[in-house]
Chains A and B, each alone.
Chain A
Amino acid sequence: MLFNLQIKRYGDYGDREVPGGEMPGQTNNKSEWPLWEVFIRSKQGLDHKHAGSLHAADAEMAIENARDVYTRRMEGVSIWVVESKYIHASNPDEAESLFDPANDKVYRHPTFYDLPDAVKYM
């Protein structure tokens, strides 16, 4: 199936990705520190999960600020930060066509298969 998928949006910020990695709306605020997305691993064995965002001048400051803003109560053992402008996101307007291929494949789920009760441990 053909569809015109345009991956042209940042995560939750800015309208459209523009060449040069600049964020529209941010360009007028030269004095503003860039925005960072914060991901936190709450304990060993778990994935880093998006916690929120913050402004910081550089990555080191972003990590230190993330510690103060998002882990004041031992919520994390590890922090990732990435500048928001480097997050590429799918377009929610195109979600239907993007996720359509999985829509009609119920046979990918174990419950699709009807087995006799006699079969144990499966």
Chain B
Amino acid sequence: MAVVNLEERFQEKIDAEVKIEPKDWMPDAYRKTLIRQISQHAHSEIVGMLPEGNWITRAPSLKRKAILMAKVQDEAGHGLYLYSAAETLGISRDEMYDQLHTGKAKYSSIFNYPTLTWADMGAIGWLVDGAAIMNQVPLCRTSYGPYARAMVRICKEESFHQRQGFETLLVLSRGSAEQKAMCQDAINRWWWPSLMMFGPPDAESPNTIQSMKWKIKRLSNDELRQKFIDMCAEQVKVLGMTLPDPDLKWNEERQHYDFGPINWNEFYEVLKGNGPCNKQRLDARRKAWDEGKWVRDAAEAFAQKREAVRKVA
């Protein structure tokens, strides 16, 4: 069958909301786009453990420590679901790790910011996980079956992350003057980077049109960002805190919040590797991978030895 026909049939399936499964024919560019997007998403979950892992030993109570550990473990699980989904497209796990460790693959820029105080754990849960959920809910309906199934699983678990973050901030917002200040400071530092998580404005996002045609993406960067801002602008009132944007104002006509300009230079700088923690994060990943080698080798050797014994018996 001619390639044109295959492509037409593929697009017909997409248009009819039929999911694409691993062994179905798909255009090379669709496969490549998905591998890039899913693996970057997986890397983000894995690297995302680092800023939070920073606070496990310093959580203010046993309860908070247990919650944080459960959350970080979830992030590891989310990374694993996504790596498996990417593997169905023909890339190996080791290849993906290699791309992460050599800096060839990107991960979400947000994780290149430092977690300076305990309130950052709250702000990350509320804003960073909140933005992630906003991005991820439409991905539950993405056209590639394994990716969509992974996202359904992730979204179910992610809701706890956001709620525990908000609750952490809520407790601080009702605390001492110092705790309130810490709460506001964390919101101030995480707000703008969270908005950048939705990616560059639609006009500067060249892949968006094709991704939307293939229904990999369901909503544009700007649409999602606006939804997120509208949501947070109301939620922050419950905390009795403010968002660090003097231009944030309800627009009756648009039925949305207007907001100030985002510093995209900062975004591109962090993306290029010049964020506050880029080096630290990648070094930590590489160290974990290198120092875990003997464990992987030992498990492999043990499995082989047992297999040999089993064959003899």
Within 8 A of B (CB), among A65-81: 68-70, 72-73
Q: Which of A28, A32, A57, A73 has the most CB of B within 10 A?
A: A57
Number of inter-chain CB pairs below 8 Å? 69
Contact in complex: B81, A13 (CB < 8 Å): no
9 example contacts (A-B, Cβ-Cβ < 8 A) are as follows: A12-B22, A25-B90, A54-B84, A55-B93, A58-B302, A58-B306, A69-B77, A89-B23, A93-B25
Chain B neighbourhood of A9, CB < 8 A: 23
Contact in complex: B93, A72 (CB < 8 Å): no
Q: Is the contact region of chain B dominated by helix, strand, or loop, or is it mixed?
A: helix
User: Distance in Å from the Cβ of A106 to the closest Cβ of chain B?
Assistant: 22
A25 to B92, CA, bound (A): 7
Chain B neighbourhood of A26, CB < 8 A: 92
Contact in complex: B300, A33 (CB < 8 Å): yes
Q: Which residue of chain B has the shortest Cβ distance to A9 in the bound complex? A: B23
Binding site for A on B (CB under 8 A): 21-25, 70, 73-74, 77, 80-81, 84, 87-88, 90, 92-95, 146, 149-150, 153, 157, 296-297, 299-300, 302-303, 306-307
User: Distance in Å from the Cβ of B311 to the closest Cβ of chain A?
Assistant: 14
User: Distance in Å from the Cβ of A104 to the closest Cβ of chain B?
Assistant: 22
A32/B25 contact (C-beta < 8 A), A58-B306, A69-B77 known? no
Judged by a CB distance under 8 angstroms, whether A29 is at the interface is yes
Judged by a CB distance under 8 angstroms, whether A6 is at the interface is no
Out of B21, B24, B81, B94, which one reaches A32, CB within 8 Å?
A: B94
Contact in complex: A33, B299 (CB < 8 Å): yes
Contact in complex: B21, A31 (CB < 8 Å): no
User: Distance in Å from the Cβ of B78 to the closest Cβ of chain A?
Assistant: 10
User: Distance in Å from the Cβ of A115 to the closest Cβ of chain B?
Assistant: 35
Contact in complex: A72, B303 (CB < 8 Å): no
Contact in complex: A58, B23 (CB < 8 Å): no
Chain B neighbourhood of A54, CB < 8 A: 80, 84
Contact in complex: B23, A91 (CB < 8 Å): yes
Judged by a CB distance under 8 angstroms, whether A20 is at the interface is no
Judged by a CB distance under 8 angstroms, whether A45 is at the interface is no
Q: Which residue of chain A has the shortest Cβ distance to B24 in the bound complex? A: A92
A53/B84 contact (C-beta < 8 A), A61-B299, A73-B157 known? yes
A92 to B150, CA, bound (A): 21
Out of A35, A68, A93, which one reaches B87, CB within 8 Å?
A: A35
Chain A neighbourhood of B21, CB < 8 A: 12, 92
A54 to B273, CA, bound (A): 31
User: Distance in Å from the Cβ of A93 to the closest Cβ of chain B?
Assistant: 7
A57 to B295, CA, bound (A): 11
Chain A neighbourhood of B302, CB < 8 A: 57-58
User: Distance in Å from the Cβ of B155 to the closest Cβ of chain A?
Assistant: 13
A57 to B303, CA, bound (A): 6
Contact in complex: B299, A72 (CB < 8 Å): no
Within 8 A of B (CB), among A1-36: 9, 12-13, 15, 25-26, 28-29, 31-33, 35
Chain A neighbourhood of B93, CB < 8 A: 29, 32, 55
Out of B73, B90, B150, which one reaches A52, CB within 8 Å?
A: B150
Q: Which residue of chain B has the shortest Cβ distance to A50 in the bound complex? A: B149
Contact in complex: A13, B150 (CB < 8 Å): no
Chain B neighbourhood of A28, CB < 8 A: 92
A27 to B88, CA, bound (A): 16
Out of B90, B153, B299, which one reaches A57, CB within 8 Å?
A: B299
User: Distance in Å from the Cβ of A54 to the closest Cβ of chain B?
Assistant: 6
User: Distance in Å from the Cβ of B48 to the closest Cβ of chain A?
Assistant: 16
A57 to B84, CA, bound (A): 16
Q: Which residue of chain A has the shortest Cβ distance to B78 in the bound complex? A: A69
A26 to B297, CA, bound (A): 17
Contact in complex: A31, B94 (CB < 8 Å): yes
Q: Which of B70, B74, B81 has the most CB of A within 10 A?
A: B81
A57-B300, A58-B307 given; name 7 further pairs at CB < 8 Å. A12-B88, A12-B146, A15-B90, A25-B90, A33-B299, A58-B306, A69-B81
